[in-house]
Chain A
Amino acid sequence: MQLCTQLATHSDTYMKKPFIALFFQVIVLFSTITCLSGQTTRYTISGYIYEKGSRETLVGANVYEPNFRIGSTSNTYGFYSITLPADSVEVIFSYVGYVPVIKELVLTENLRIDIELDPSLDLQEVVVTDERLTRISQTAQMSRLDVPIQQARNIPSLLGEKDMFKVLQLMPGVQSGTEGTSGFYVRGGGPDQNLIILDDAIVYNASHLFGFFSVFNGDAVKNMQLFKGGFPARFGGRLSSVLDIQMKDGNKQKFTGEGGIGLISSRLTLEGPIIKDKASFLISGRRTYLDALTRPFMSDDGFGGYFFYDLNSKINFDIDPNNRIFVSSYMGRDKFFFKDEYKGQGFEDSSEGGLFWQNTTATVRWNHIFSDRLFANASFVFSDYLLEIYSKERYKDLIYNETSAFDLTYNSGIQDVGLKYDLSWHPRSNHHVRAGMQFLHHRFTPSAIVLRNEDIGRFERNAEVHRSLESGIYLEDEISFGDYLKINPGLRFSHLYTDGKTYQYLEPRFNSNLVIYPQVSWKASFAAMSQYVHLLSTTGIGLPTDLWVPTTKKIAPQRTWQVATGFAWDWLARNLEFSVEGYYKESTDIIGYKEGASFLFIEDPENAEEFSWEDNITSGDAWAYGLEFLIQRKAGRFSGWIGYTLSWIEHQFDDLNFGEKFWARYDRRHDISLVGIYEVSEGITFSATWVYATGNAIDLGTGRFPVITHPVTVNDEGNQGNNPWWYSANVYDKKNSFRAASYQRLDVGLQFHKDITRFGYPVKRTIELGAYNAYSRKNPFFYYWEDRMIYNDYGYETNRKLMQVSIFPIIPSITVNFKF
């Protein structure tokens, strides 16, 4: 009753704002019903779960009482709440890879207990506890992948750069795009259908180096979860996946750092207390230096280069036991550039150009604990993405003293400003209610061109600015019915206002888990999703030139619904998890480029006002279905996983393939991943990954044929032309009917760990040797036809050979990592 009163008080405060009032009224109604049920005296234990030594909060830590068989988990801020009968209780706090803590208590009142878990778990031990709620067979949520951050640091990688996205691509249901790129495709969805959030802020282009690396520095990441289906109602705005990433908060107890020196980049992370146990900071940076290393070898007349950098920073402050403030930011930039000058007899010629793209995000968050059972988070988020391409040419005739100039600048971007408010409430031990609202203002500039040429004068197409307001309100409840059934029903209402038009949708969500046998459960889920921002991707290879475009009056939101079902099994004796899931998904109004269209096309600048990106895109439907298998061992001397995906992805666009269905470019029938990490000894770790995928679907011309069009001019007799126009064009079969060769790759890595001393300080040093594509498999990047001349007695004739371009042979790497 006390709790119900608290909620009623808070709702009165906002009664003047109808929208928020309705939201709170629903909560109060629900809480009243819940509060009136149940007469047993219960008390709540709540608090934060930290990592011992750093005071870093632990996400998803397990809290369990085995006698009453009641459990809970810590939320994304490390806060937990468990309600137990007034009695003697034994509460087990545990987390994978950490030494569990057991508290024996006699409950006579609500308790606030913060827990520290020791990460110094002996690698030889496999602690098997009855950690029910962290077990896959016990969670209501299905289709969720917890990216193993610690394991990810041991997995071999391209050029030694640890990339969380590449680890995701090793999971079932998640596919990579083209060779080496870090864009990912989840259950048939394109790269724009993944919501990537870093501390609540959306990251739009999460790639460096033309898609070969992601922007996420693993040293700064605390937790990473990918939802492939069964999306909880608190997530919305994308169709295929949600990648929720939390940055570390920073060590509140001592100053530490870690870093690494690699072949193409180096990184450094520093963290430490500002006020011990109350406030801390974290700053983590990374930069390539290939441009700096190669610059001395280039002349001043002609040079080029590429670099990227990224910087994560965070400050957090515990105002009091019930209030915390976090300020986090991310800034990253990629730049490719060249400059060339030439002086000839009587003239000077110079050109320079390049392209760059950058992401900036910032988040301010406030955690507030209303009571032992009610936790809230308010966030202010900012996100900015910009792409710019530029080119300049100057020609000077020294004899006639004449100059000519050409300038081109193209930019495109998206900027978001938003507010979020989320509540987490544990009214009873078998209920976990979440509710919240989100408002996000989008500002798009899909394209803007400035072109100056001596012949045409100056042409400028100003940036078309599109603004839209996206909002969402949700309610979900995770309900346990004894030990055997858990359900998580939810409802999300999403809304968009743009161009004077309103779109709004109800998005029901549902997850369930039914234990059918000890440690074995059957799961099922349903989710309806809407998406209001779109990525125009040329052929889907994830180039930075892909355009983010808004929903407008002409371009409708994308929508999908997905059902999934499967089984999960925890083999506790071997510390193994098995899961198999089947899914079916239908999407409408997905967008793509029309045939031949490009993001930057000005043949005739004087008529470019008539060119609009909206006229260059088309919309259609998609169907995706498949099966996913996963066997995983998260801890122990030998860990890793085996994943297999069998899937189909079809598209249908009225403007493509003459309206007939066709395979999506990233449709791969079979996808297998084997990942193994073995602790050879305390100082040596060996790891290997092997991936195999059948070829993706490509549009490939198969021949040439004469194209004869209708002549419309007339001859002197007044008849239409006798000689038609002849061309030669490519023969295409059904769109994307060509299957590339299968993709396979073996990566191996060997790490040598050693404790050393430098400048009087203890340092953990790891030297990592690795080989990417260890047996140098020629995986296709793209195909093209090459003309071959064949000479014979009659002259010559031509035919064509299909050629394959591959980009990554065996690539060894050596990286030195350190931690102090």
Chain B
Amino acid sequence: MSHPPTPHPLRSLLSGPAVTPLDRLAAEGPSVVPELLPALPRKAGAALLGGGVVERDVGEAVAARVDLDAWRVCDAVGAVLLEEAEVDDETLVDLYLHGDLEERIIVLRALGLRPVTDGTVRLLEEAQRTNMESHFKAAACDSNLPLRAAAHAGFGSEGFRRMILKAAFLGLPEERLLDVERGADEELSRMLQDLATEREAAGRAIWPGTSLLIAHAPTAGSVARVVGGLEHGDDRLRHAAARGLLRLNRRDLEPFAAERLPREPRPAIRELLERAIRPD
């Protein structure tokens, strides 16, 4: 594969023991990667990295974005290591399939700042199939990788929808799915609504991100679900419904916001409702 010409954006964040594995790579060559990778959590450290969202141009229509607040130092070292070793798809998949539980997280995190390839698609499918929650989170959360992968023929909108549906099924925080709304479409709305209905019928909680995402691509039943969410007793669901209402941006729905506003106790939700009511 061809790599972006710019240095890896996380390289400059690393120092001390975090650089030692990279030095060994430089000295011994890429054949040492299978031995370096499993040792990263204990040798480079597993403390949270921090630093917020970083972007990288990887030569695709959309820049790669990851949230470093969710990354550990060993994740960052792994991402740089795999790039400096110039691992190809075959090696990448091999490292994942023969990796231990932590190595798999590191490999999946690294994908967030790499161009999407056939190998990326293979590993996303593995993470999707595996349903090991820590691995699925590493693939789906804290980056816009699912969105970028949707532009790859091997993954496409279908792969994207399955991944987001699974995130909803697992109840993962929607704010950790970076830029997810940019991939919203009516079919995803239908799938999320069907999941919500199924869970309600079983007496279980629905995913709070539902109201927001379906408002980005409303289909039959979406508006009723968003409006109904304004009266939900769960603050998170009501907050998501208010955001959804704002996103729907429909004048004819403003009375629902006006009706809720005087009874809404949460300031953050009140603020959203006020924004949804436009002056005449």
Q: Is B one of A's binding partners?
A: no
